Amino acid sequence: MNQKEKKIVTIATVFAVAFGVTPVVNAMHIMEGYLPPKFCIIWGVICIPFLITGYLSIKKTLSQNRKFITILAMAGAFVFVLSSLKIPSVTGSCSHMTGTGLAAILFGPTAVGILGIIVLIFQAILLAHGGLTTLGANTFSMAIAGPFVSYGIYKLCQKLKVNKYVGIFLAASIGDLFTYCVTSYELALAYPSVNGGIAASAAKFLAVFAPTQLPLAIIEGILTVVIIMGLETYAKPELKGLGFLKGGEN
């Protein structure tokens, strides 16, 4: 059995690395300088309370048990990997995933804010991808709005007694899609259409982002389910401690 389990991990790793060498192009996030200063400040300020709650929530989780830091690191690494992989989509353009669903499900939505902003700062400074001025808006869409939706859907599926993996899949993929819906609205608020206003403008941005993002959202859902299966097999005590697994079952 152990031999087989090792193989799964190897395959998963090779798979992840293989995607790392996909040709790189520009991808999502609102670009540097593309939001008027007023909006940059507003979005930044909106993020602050979420980030503070996130910091406190991580601190609380870690004070319960220092061991959770490894799972937290893995969830963060998951965001790191997925948001660096740009994947071709049916519309003929590339985009990347957010990877925030996993952390949202395991640690709650606010904690993801901290993980997300680390990734966004890294990309903004070194990769000219996203940007420092749009950091607030990007953090809000990717690390706050998306995870909150993921978490809500996951909890809802739990209540409705939907199969756990289906719930995780839905949570991760819809959270990913929602991230891009929020991005569209952020852009639309800054650039309302002359005829039709914000709504018409948002529809235009959505028309660009949504078809590209849909297949990627599905991939993100699948990968999140896979990594949770892996963690369930090997890191049971930690997941139990986080309240993800209940008692002895499963």
Partner 1 sequence: MAKTKKKVIILLIIAVLIALIPLFTLKGAEFGGSDDAGSVVVSQITGTEYKPWFTPVMETWIGGELPGEIESLLFCVQTGIGVGVLAFFMGRYVERTKKENQETKTE
Residues 32-71 that bind partner 1 (CB under 8 A): 32-34, 36-37, 70-71
The Cβ of residue 135 has, within 10 Å, a number of other Cβ atoms equal to 23
Verify binding: residue 144, partner 1, rule CB under 8 A: no
Token couple for 56: 């406190």
Judged by CB under 8 A, the stretch of 54-62, 108-116, 139-147, 222-230 that binds partner 1 is 222-230
Judged by CB under 8 A, the stretch of 25-33, 45-53, 109-117, 148-156 that binds partner 1 is 25-33
Indicate the residue among 19 and 55 with the shorter CB distance to partner 1: 19
The Cβ of residue 108 has, within 10 Å, a number of other Cβ atoms equal to 20
Which one, of 104, 111, 83, lies nearest residue 19 by Cα?
A: 83
Residue 147 CA to residue 102 CA, distance in Å, equals: 9
The Cβ of residue 14 has, within 10 Å, a number of other Cβ atoms equal to 10
Min CB(52)–partner 1 separation in Å: 25
Which one, of 123, 134, 144, lies nearest residue 53 by Cα?
A: 144
Indicate the residue among 11 and 52 with the shorter CB distance to partner 1: 11
Indicate the residue among 80 and 152 with the shorter CB distance to partner 1: 80
Going 153 to 154 to 157 to 162, the CA torsion angle's sign is: positive
Indicate the residue among 46 and 218 with the shorter CB distance to partner 1: 218
Size of the site for partner 1 (CB under 8 A): 91
Contact between 109 and 147 under an 8 Å Cβ cutoff? The reply is yes
Verify binding: residue 228, partner 1, rule CB under 8 A: no
Helix (H) or strand (E) holding 209: helix 197-234
Which one, of 28, 81, 26, 32, lies nearest residue 212 by Cα?
A: 28
Instruction: Pick from 51, 81, 120, 157 the residue near partner 1 by CB under 8 A.
Output: 81
Verify binding: residue 30, partner 1, rule CB under 8 A: yes
Phi, psi of 73 (to 5 degrees): -60, -40
Instruction: Pick from 15, 45, 62, 158 the residue near partner 1 by CB under 8 A.
Output: 15
Verify binding: residue 171, partner 1, rule CB under 8 A: no
The residues in 92-121 that bind partner 1, with binding defined as CB under 8 A, are: 92-95
The residues in 190-219 that bind partner 1, with binding defined as CB under 8 A, are: 191-194, 201, 204-205, 208-209, 212-213, 215, 218-219
Verify binding: residue 77, partner 1, rule CB under 8 A: yes
Verify binding: residue 168, partner 1, rule CB under 8 A: no
